[in-house]
Amino acid sequence: MKTLTLLTAGLFAVSLAACGQEAPAETISVETHMEMTGSDMMDHSGHDMPDQVMGHGTGIIKSRGSKGDFLTIDHGPIDGIGMGAMTMGFEIMGSVDVSAFAEGDPVAFMVKKGRDNSYRITNMCNTQTEGTDCLAGMMDH
């Protein structure tokens, strides 16, 4: 398991370097920074999502890529894809404008799994300025 973890971390750093991104200085073990109110608000129990390709979560922006196409987010569990809380980087889909977001902003976001098995942000909103249910209007799945 340790070898797999080291290999995965190394491949992540190399892939980021190839894209002109810097790997995060450290990975932080985190607790959920915020929980969305009204847990039934985004209940996926009635959705047919067998491949777990789409999900949503909340977190805090830790860093932005210099080109605005990459965010590192310290996030809680991502509902819909079964991902636990962690700090990780996400590429941004071309239609998402992250220019108004800054390090430290609390966000709600949606992700979609690509053909390369990586998750990309498809929608995002600032929960501090737009409210904790700001993602509800963006749900397209």
d(CA 70, CA 101): 12
CA distance 55 to 109: 8
Q: What is the pLDDT of residue 18?
A: 53
> How far apart (Å, rounded) are the C-alpha atoms in residues 65 and 18?
13
d(CA 44, CA 41): 9
Structure confidence at residue 68 (pLDDT): 86
Nearest-angstrom CA–CA distance, 7 and 137: 39
Alpha-carbon Rg for the chain in angstroms: 15
Query: What mean pLDDT do residues 97-123 have?
Result: 95
DSSP-derived pairing of the beta strands 119-126 and 86-92: parallel
% of the chain residues with pLDDT over 90: 52
Q: Regarding the domain delimited by 29-39+47-138, which CATH topology (the fold level of the hierarchy) does it fall under?
A: OB fold (Dihydrolipoamide Acetyltransferase, E2P) (2.40.50)
pLDDT digits (tens, 9 = 90+) for 12-28: 554 545 555 554 444 33
Which of 6 and 113 is assigned the larger pLDDT?
Answer: 113
| pLDDT score for 17 | 52
Listed residue (87, 81, 42, 85) closest to 61, CA to CA: 87
Comparing CA positions, the residue from 94, 90, 87, 130 lying closest to residue 110 is 90
Averaged pLDDT, 85-105: 94
Q: What is the pLDDT of residues 31-55, one digit of tens each?
A: 333 333 333 334 444 444 445 799 9
